[in-house]
Amino acid sequence: MIGPAARAARMLLRPLRDLEVPDLVTAPVVVPRSHDWRGFHSSARALTDAAALGVSALVAFVVGSPAPPVPSLATIAWCAGPCAVLLVCLALVGSRDPRILGTGTEFTRVLRGVAWAVGVVAVAGWLVVPDGPRGGVLVVGVLGTILILVARFVWQHVLLRARRAGRCAERLLVVGSAGSTARMVEDLERDRSGRVTVVDTFVIGRPDAPNGGDAVPDVLAAVHPHCVDTVLVAASDVMCPDAMRRLGWALRDRRVDLAVAPPLGEVAPHRVQHRNIAGRPFLHLPTAEARSTEPLKRAVDIVGSTILLVVLAPVLLGVAAVVRVSSRGPVLYRQERIGRFGVPFQMLKFRSMRVGADAELEALIAADGPVVEPLFKVRDDPRVTRVGRVLRRYSLDELPQLLNVLGGSMSLVGPRPQRPAEVALYEEAAHRRLLTRPGMSGLWQVEGRSALPWREAIRLDLYYVDNRSVRGDLHILARTARAVAAPTEDEAH
């Protein structure tokens, strides 16, 4: 009788061709690429990093050596050593990862690599050669960092131009249910950076549907012909964990990335943290930083509105004079709007309509049909004066709201305040926009000024309320300045 040990030995001695190997346990499969931009741009940055550090090392050698420069092993080591350390640190922090090329993260990682290199060189120099030539190391570090950042900026400009021309985009295969796939494609199409392009979609059934786990071979079959870079699963519940794991294995063998959209809705990336609980990875959403940053946000409002009121005082006086002499009526227009926590307040604007315009509003709205959304506006409003059209086009009529900001009823950035009649039409989710002070500008103003439909406007407002931060406010203010400098014919709401 053959024992278990003997049978195991025979199995090990069997030829490999006699063994049955599952389909997913295969040699790596090379998926054809329609482009080699990832390798090109990553390699190009590596070469320019090395060239920049080579130039800085040469300058450090010439500056730190007596005239004429005489090469010595110690001098060369002190110039070349920091260069090598910096190149290694740049690689370790992933500064040439194709997924972050062309974004601000690329520069962040470069600076992180420089910080690590400075620490390593400082400690190594202090331990090994305490009396080494510090000046040469300083030249290499400062000049090398500047040259690397300049080169990265040039390469980023090249990459962004290529993406605007429809090249060098990450090719996505979106997988999910019919609804989740459609929503994901819609969200991706809003991205104007050109970083990604959806080459195909694959709709699969629910995990408990017949043959639900057999979607993996079909997904893999769609990867090859479309030269996919990343398979994006739009909803994690459309595949069982076993199928998701097998898909990840197969894609890794094909050198294709796998990305899974978490069921978190629209959450800013900076709010998502990774946690390990009981040995399992979790996505953690800590308490929003909105409350903790509210005092800082208010301080920014006070300082910013005060500075703007002083700087723009000549403009304010000039606009007031033009409004006063151009038509009969007061210079300032006051209207009740709903503020934070549903508290009404009087919003200020330069008058851009004829006197008594509010009494005509109901008739004009009725002429356009029944109001079903909380964002209604009269197109080609006959009540607007000629001066008012110019003021609205350049948002000059909004400047008196700086007084609202200084007084605390408004903020520089936030959802635009709406009329009581508009707030009365809110659905449950829309009331969340009342959790923060209304702003002079906001996300939907910089995205589409007043041309966005209500569904898109409320989506952007709720995203802001859930993810607001001072840094985000500063970004919106910068975009607001650009939008005002290049106005459209749309009038402000």
Q: 145 pLDDT band (50/70/90 cuts)?
A: very high
Q: Specify the pLDDT at position 415.
A: 94
Q: Does residue 150 surpass a pLDDT of 90? A: yes
- What's the whole-number average pLDDT of the chain? 82
pLDDT digits (tens, 9 = 90+) for 426-460: 998 899 999 999 999 988 878 765 667 888 888 89
Query: What confidence score (pLDDT) does residue 21 get?
Result: 43
User: Which one is predicted more confidently, 5 or 17?
Assistant: 5
Cβ neighbors of 331 (< 8 A, separation 6 or more) are 320, 323, 324, 350, 351
Q: Which residue has the tokens 């209304």?
A: 438
Label residue 236 by pLDDT band (50, 70, 90). confident
Examine the pLDDT at 97 and tell me if it is beyond 60: yes
**Residues in Cβ contact with 389 at an 8 Å cutoff, skipping those fewer than 6 apart:** 352, 491
* CA angle, residues 459, 463, 464, in degrees to nearest 5: 120
- Please answer whether residues 213 and 243 qualify as being in contact, where contact means their C-beta atoms are separated by less than 8 angstroms: yes
What domains lie within the chain, and their CATH numbers? 37-164 (no CATH), 170-263 (3.40.50.20), 291-485 (no CATH)
Counting residues of the chain whose pLDDT is more than 90, the rounded percentage is 35
pLDDT by residue (tens digit) across 319-376? Answer: 999 999 988 889 999 999 999 999 999 999 999 998 877 777 777 766 666 666 777 7
Query: pLDDT tens digit string along 26-73?
Result: 445 554 554 578 889 999 999 999 999 889 888 877 776 655 555 666
